[in-house]
Amino acid sequence: MKRLLYSILSMLSMLAMACGERPDGRVKGASLYPELVLTDSVQVIYYDTLGEERNFTFFSSTDTSIIAPVVKDASAMTIDTTTCPKEGKIYCFVKGNIYTTIYFSTGKGGCSPHFRCIRDAQLYCFSMSERSRELLTGKRSSAVRP
C-alpha cells in the first residue's frame, strides 16, 4: 500500500514539474504562454500617468531585436507578485491576432523593473532584464498619440 502511495505521489510530482510548476508555486512563463515564442509583432502602450490607462502613447514593431528580450523575460520563472503601478502594456501578436497582453514597470516610483501577465484570473510576475528595460525606456520617446 505504501509503495502504491509513493508511486502516485511521485507521478503527481513529475506531472507538476512537467507542467512548469515547482513545489514553491513558481511557474515558468513558457508553460503559461507556449505560443509566446511565436510573437511576430508588438504594440507597446505607455501610460501618461502611472497606472492610468486613459491617456497614452504607443508604437508598434515587428523588429525581433525588440520582441526577443521581452519574450525571453516573460518565458522565465515567475517572481513574487507586486503592487507597483503599471507604466504600460505590450500587446503580443501572433499571425495578426493578439496572443496575450504583458504589463510592465521599468522601475519608476521605486519599484523593481518587471513584467506581469494575467492567466486564468491569476497574476504572474517576471523579472525584467536590463536589455528590456533599456528598450522600453528608450522607445518611449518615439511613441505617438493615437
- pLDDT per residue as tens digits for the range 21-32: 445 567 888 889
Mean of pLDDT over the chain: 85
Q: 20: number of CA atoms within 13 Å, CB side?
A: 12
Residue 14 has pLDDT above 50, yes or no: no
Q: What mean pLDDT is predicted for residues 75-91?
A: 91
Backbone angles phi, psi at 133, to 5 degrees: -60, -45
Q: What mean pLDDT is predicted for residues 40-45?
A: 98
CA-based nearest residue to 90, from 117, 123, 113 = 117
Q: Where are the domains of the chain?
A: 25-142
Residue 6 has pLDDT above 60, yes or no: no
pTM, two decimal places? 0.81
- Confidence (pLDDT) at 1: 53
